Structure 1
Amino acid sequence: MENFFNNCSFCFLFCSMAFYWIRAFFNIPIFSYFGKLMIIGGNLTMFFLLIFRGIHENHFPLSNFYEALIFLSWSLTFINLIFEIKLDDFIVGATIAPTALFLNAFASFQLPQSLQKLSPLIPALQSNWLMMHVSVMLLSYGTLISGSILAIAFLFLFERVAISTSFGPSLTSLTPRKINLLNKLDQLSFRSIGIGFPFLTIGILSGSVWANEAWGSYWSWDPKETWSLVTWIIFAIYLHLRLTQKWKGFKSAILATIGFFTLWICFLGVNFLAKGLHSYGWFF
C-alpha cells in the first residue's frame, strides 16, 4: 500500500508539471485544469501515505528525513492549490509543482532504503515536541519556499518583459494584464513569506525548548540551528524593509531569492554535508 501511494503521488506530480508546462509553452488553457486535478491527486496520495505510515509506526509520521521530504512536498501542493485559486493563473502551478515533484522524487528514488523504511522513534524524538516543532518548521519551509518561488517568477517575468521593450525595466511599459500579474505575484509572495516567518519563529523557539529537554541546552550552535537563524535573519530583513522602507517588487524579490537559497542550505545542505545533532543524511 505504501508503494502504491508513493508511486501514485510521483505520477500525479509529474503529470501536473507536464500539464502546466504544456499550458505555458503551447498556450492551451484546458491543460491548467488538468494540472490542477493532478496536483489534487498528488496532495491526497501523499496525505494518505503519511497517514498510513503514522498508523503503522504508531506515532506522528515525521520521524525521519523521508517523511519530512514527503510532508514538505505535500505542503507545497496544498499551498499551490490555495495560491492558484487566489491568483487564477497557471504560473503558480508551473513554478511550485516542479519543486514539489523534486522533493517527492528525491525522497522516493535518491534516499537509501535505510532512511525510508518504517522504524520506531529514537529516544531523542520520543517527545510531545515532535509534532509541534517539526510540523511547524516544515510548514514554515513550505510557505517560505512558495513565497520565494513566486518572487523568482516575478523576477523572471519582470526581466523578460523589460528586455522585450525599449523602455528598460519599468512597469509603466508593461501591458495592464502583465502589470496585474506582476502585482499579484508580488503580493502573494509577500503574504506567503509573512505567514511563513511567524511559523519559522515559533519553530525555532519550540526547538530551543525541546533541545533543552533533550540535550540540556537551549542553543548549541548546531549547523541546523545556525542556518535556521541565518534564514530567520534574511526574512526578517525582507519583512522589515518591505514594511518600513516600502520595498516592493524588484528589490524585495531579490531578497526573497536570497532567502530561497538559504532555505535549501538549511533544509538539505546541512543535513547532508554537516554532521550535527539534527543530522538526517548519510554524506558524512
Structure 2
Amino acid sequence: MDLVILENFLDNASFFVLLLTMLIYWIGTAFPSLTWFPTLGTTGGIIANLLIATLLGARWLEGGYFPLSNLYESLFFLAWGITTTYLIVESMVGISLIGAVTTPIAMAITAFATISLPSDMRVSSPLVPALKSNWLMMHVSVMMLSYSALMVGSVMAIAFLIITRDQDISLRGSSVGTGSYRNSSLKEFPKNHEKEILLNTNDAFITKNNLSPQHLNLADKLDNLSYRIIGLGFPLLTIGIIAGAVWANEAWGSYWSWDPKETWALITWLVFAAYLHARITKDWQGRRPAILAAGGFIAVWVCYLGVNLLGNGLHSYGWFL
C-alpha cells in the first residue's frame, strides 16, 4: 500500500513540476530580460526527470520486470525519454526555447497517464506469457527511446516552421559536411544581394528575409538540431523494428504479420527516411524537410498511441474499442 501511495505521489508530482516548468520556460521566452528563468526551467526539468525515473524504478521493484508492460508505464517512460533528450540537447547548445516547446509535450503525456487512464490500466500486474522475454527490455525500450528522440527532433522542426513563418528559407550546407553545430554569427551579403543573408561559412542562405538576425540565428540552430536529433532517433527506430521482428518470430512464429502497429512503424520509418534523404538533397533544404518532420511527429503518435488504443492488432491495449 505504501508503494502505491508513493507511485501516486510521484506521478502527480511529476505532472505539476512539468506544468510549472513549462510556465517558467514560457515566461522566460516572453521576457528575455529575466535571465535567471531559463536556469530555473532547466532545474525544473531535471527534477521532473528524476521524479519520473524514481516512479519507473518503483514500478520495476514492485513488478520485478522492466516497467514497460502497459500503457501507463510506457507513457511515463516516454516522458522520461523526452525530458532526458531535451535536457541533454539544451545543455549542449544553451537554447532555452528547446525546453519551452518540449516540456508541454512531456507535461501532456504525464497528465494523460495520471488523469485520463482508467485505474485498472495503471495497476502493475503479472506479465502475460508473450511478454516474459528478454526482448521486452531490448525491443520496447529502444522503440520508446526512438520515439522520444524523433518527437523532440520533430518539435524542433515545427518550431523552425513557426519562427520562419511564410519566409522563403534555403539552408544549404546544414546537413552534411559541417561536423558540428554551426557558428551562428551573421554577415550581410554584397549589396546586389541585399535581401539575402549568409550564415557563417557553410554556404547557408536565407532568402526573402523579413526576420531579425536573432530570429535567423535561432531558425538556423533549430534546423540543425532537428536534423541531428532525428538522425539519432532514426537508427534507434530501425534497431527497434528489427528487434521487434525477431521477437515476433520467437513469440508468434512470423517476423512480420502486417499488424496495425507494425504497419505504422513502417510508415513512420519511411517518413523519417524521406526526411533524412531530403536533407542531403541539394534542392530540398529549409522548410520542405521541416514539413516532412512535422508530418513525422503525427506519424509517431499514431504509431505509438493511435493503433494501441483504436486498433485490434496484437499490440493493442483496446481502451476505446
Q: TM-score, normalised by structure 1?
A: 0.94
Separation in 1, partners of 2:163, 2:281: 26
Tell me which residue corresponds to 1:217: 254
Query: Residues 77-112 of structure 1: CA distance to partner in whole angstroms, max 9, x if unpaired?
Result: 111111212231221011000000011111111111
Which amino acid in structure 2 is aligned with residue 73 of structure 1? Answer: A
- Report the alpha carbon displacement of residue 116 of structure 1 after superposing the two structures with TM: 0.5
Tell me which residue corresponds to 2:9: 4
Separation in 2, partners of 1:8, 1:246: 47
Separation in 1, partners of 2:160, 2:19: 24
Query: Residues 236-257 of structure 1: CA distance to partner in whole angstroms, max 9, x if unpaired?
Result: 0111121244633211101101
Which amino acid in structure 2 is aligned with residue 228 of structure 1? Answer: A
286, 299, 310: which one pairs with 1:249? 286
Separation in 1, partners of 2:208, 2:78: 34
Tell me which residue corresponds to 2:98: 92
Structure 1: runs of 5 or more not aligned: none
Map 1:148-227; keep pairs closer than 5 Å.
Answer: 148-159=154-165, 170=207, 172-227=209-264
Tell me which residue corresponds to 1:234: 271
Tell me which residue corresponds to 1:116: 122
Map 1:19-98; keep pairs closer than 5 Å.
Answer: 19-27=24-32, 28-98=34-104
- Report the alpha carbon displacement of residue 24 of structure 1 after superposing the two structures with TM: 2.1
1:186–1:248 CA contact under 8 A, matched in 2: no
Separation in 2, partners of 1:105, 1:216: 38
Separation in 1, partners of 2:136, 2:28: 41
* Aligned-CA RMSD value: 1.7
- Report the alpha carbon displacement of residue 6 of structure 1 after superposing the two structures with TM: 1.3
Which amino acid in structure 1 is aligned with residue 274 of structure 2? Answer: I
Separation in 1, partners of 2:307, 2:167: 37
- Report the alpha carbon displacement of residue 275 of structure 1 after superposing the two structures with TM: 1.0
2:279–2:289 CA contact under 8 A, matched in 1: yes
Which amino acid in structure 1 is aligned with residue 97 of structure 2? Answer: I
- Report the alpha carbon displacement of residue 171 of structure 1 after superposing the two structures with TM: 6.2
Which amino acid in structure 1 is aligned with residue 308 of structure 2? Answer: N
SS in 1 for 2:317: coil
Which amino acid in structure 2 is aligned with residue 215 of structure 1? Answer: W
Which amino acid in structure 2 is aligned with residue 113 of structure 1? Answer: S
Of 82-91 and 203-212, the range deviating more from structure 2: 82-91
Separation in 1, partners of 2:90, 2:208: 23
Equivalent residues, number? 280
In 2 relative to 1, CA 171–66 (structure 1 residues): closer, same or farther, beyond 3 Å?
farther
2:72–2:117 CA contact under 8 A, matched in 1: yes
Q: TM-score, normalised by structure 2?
A: 0.84
Of 226-235 and 171-180, the range deviating more from structure 2: 171-180
Tell me which residue corresponds to 1:258: 295
Q: Between the two proteins, what is the percent identity of the paired residues?
A: 52
